[in-house]
Amino acid sequence: MVSSTGSTAQDESPPTTAAADLRRDQMLEAAAALIAERGFSDTRISDVARRSGASPALVIYYFGTKDKLLTEALRWSEISFYETVEEMLAETPALRDRLEMLVRMTCVPERKGEVRSSWGLWFDLWAQAFRHPQVSKDREDLDNRWRDMIVRVVREGVGAGDIAKVDAKGFAVAWSALIDGLAIQVALEDPEVDPERAFTIAMDFASQALDLPRRSRSRRR
């Protein structure tokens, strides 16, 4: 979370090159934190400017509209997620282990009682996408990236001989939709769908859809 750096410079000029990239990232980090804390409707351009130490005019210069700021903040927050996933996939060869990791990273909070900050961003993105065509297009791009990763994981599992050839794309569409729904229930603390149950539901579906081999007793935790 980014703390406020104090008063803003109202006559601030747009920086250039590396400084511009850093300034933009500071605004996106501030926007992501604020939207996760307050929700999209209660986050103002001026709030983002104040927390990032910029002027409202500079935030508008970079992003144009609050809708665009929302989608760009979510894209920014997803960068670290995908970087972490790629690192873990590189260290995790077996398909079942890889799928379990993806479920834990999306449906299971980091700590008990804590809601992933990215969930709050996604909730607001879905709400805005329902009424705004451009936000809807951005939502589609983000979802496609997630599905493409699942497709790649499944196809690599086929290539490694973990499972027989399957419709990886069809599985990715169904499984990602299931995980979205489970994540919502976990985030809203539905008493019938806690993180453990969400994990079990997601992996039961994957096991049946992909005909995953059972985990050997020696490897069970």
Q: What percent of the chain has pLDDT over 90?
A: 62
Are 121 and 189 within one domain? yes
Radius of gyration of the chain (CA): 20
Spatial separation of the C-alpha atoms in residues 73 and 40, rounded to whole Å: 11
Weakest-pLDDT range from 26-40, 167-181, 192-206: 26-40
Token pair 């589609």: residue: 140
8 lies in a domain? no
Q: What is the pLDDT of residue 16?
A: 59
Q: Is the same domain home to 161 and 132?
A: yes
CATH number at residue 182: 1.10.357.10
* Lookup result for tokens 């805005």: 128
In this structure, are 144 and 56 located in the same domain? no
CATH of the domain at 51: 1.10.10.60
pTM here is 0.81
- CB half-sphere exposure, 1, CA atoms < 13 A: 8
Instruction: Report how many domains make up the chain.
Output: 2
Are 195 and 98 contained in the same domain? yes
Cα gap 121→140, rounded to integer Å: 15
One domain for residues 55 and 126: no
Inside any domain, residue 82:
yes
